[in-house]
Amino acid sequence: MKAFVVDKYNKKGILRLAEMPEPELLDNDVLVEVNAAGVNLLDSKIKTGEFKLILPYSRPFILGHDVAGTVVRVGSKVRKFKPGDDVYARPRDGRIGTFAEFIAIDEADVALKPKNLSMEEAASIPLVGLTAWQALIERAGLKKGQKVFIQAGSGGVGTFAIQLAKHLGATVATTVSAASADLVRSLGVDVVVDYRKEDFEKVLSGYDVVLNSQDAKTLEKSLSVLKPGGKLISISGPPDPEFAREKGLNLILRLVLRLLSRAIRTKAKRRGVKFSFLFMRGQGDQLSKITSLIESGAIRPVVDLVFPFEATNEALAYVETGRAKGKVVVKVR
């Protein structure tokens, strides 16, 4: 099968289009013929080796974290799916590889595709949808009437998280450029901060939750937006000791991550708020709940561009510019 692979970690390198063996099907796996694959900044970070210490892959490996496609074969212990089912998923860490014609995925990570979405639209959802769900529902416990600040509202995670927060009944603020203000307002945003003209930390205050996706400087500024007891959840780092424990990292890595996050954890504690790092995981049951929200019309996909499979490197380069509004998708079949 054709697939785009990482041969070596390189900030300027590109993925190689290669002939790879069809994936091995384990007892709990479904073999999915890939129709479309979402492209994420995480793909770039994996490609450059930013996460190689905590997510080691044997090279060459196939990249890609979002998929929509059709089940063509199932393992002997699979009970939820059958050949012919249209599905979508964010495969678990260690078993990624959606930039390919086929992928084998543990059925626990898979959900039926929303009936009202195309394959390209469905492929845009899993990673950002699960990130928003795990941040706002699992980690923050966001409730009706609370206030949440979601940074970079026009991005992939932002466009989904805004809609989920509004569905939960929260007041939502976000940062975007003036060119994206109408987009985020159409998704339900209550307070729009033009980051080119305003400092969000001078405009916003008394928030219950901040979802940080930016750099260390922005992360620190976010503390002042929160009220005492608030929660600062970062999907861009630094990883914290709880993440190290969840991943079962060795003692040296646990100590390194503790040191990396000590400054922000200390500052958060002084302000009476809680900091936590979220590295989302594949989760089929949560994705099924997201399917229900999409089919009910509560959440809609926001897709910027769809690239042909052969242009996967160009799609990844576009995501790396940071200019995408919503998600970028590769059409494989």
Domain ranges of the chain: 2-125+301-331, 127-277
CATH architecture of 127-277: 3-Layer(aba) Sandwich (3.40)
Query: Which three-class secondary structure state does DSSP give residue 173?
Result: strand
* Separation between Cα atoms, residue 124 and residue 88, nearest integer Å: 10
Q: Using the predicted structure, report yes or no on whether residue 287 has a pLDDT greater than 90.
A: yes
Query: Which three-class secondary structure state does DSSP give residue 312?
Result: helix
Mean pLDDT, residues 291-320 = 98
Cβ-count burial of 18 within 10 angstroms (0-12 exposed, 13-18 middle, 19+ buried)? middle
Mean pLDDT, residues 117-131 = 98
pLDDT at 12: 86
Residue 236 — very low, low, confident or very high, per pLDDT cuts 50/70/90?
very high
Q: Using the predicted structure, report yes or no on whether residue 13 has a pLDDT greater than 90.
A: no
Q: Which CATH class is domain 2-125+301-331?
A: alpha beta
Element (DSSP H or E) covering residue 161: helix 156-167
Say what percent of the chain tops pLDDT 70.
Answer: 100
Express each pLDDT in 18-52 by its tens digit.
999 999 999 999 999 999 999 999 999 999 999 99
* Separation between Cα atoms, residue 77 and residue 30, nearest integer Å: 10
Express each pLDDT in 183-229 by its tens digit.
999 999 999 999 999 999 999 999 999 999 999 999 999 999 999 99
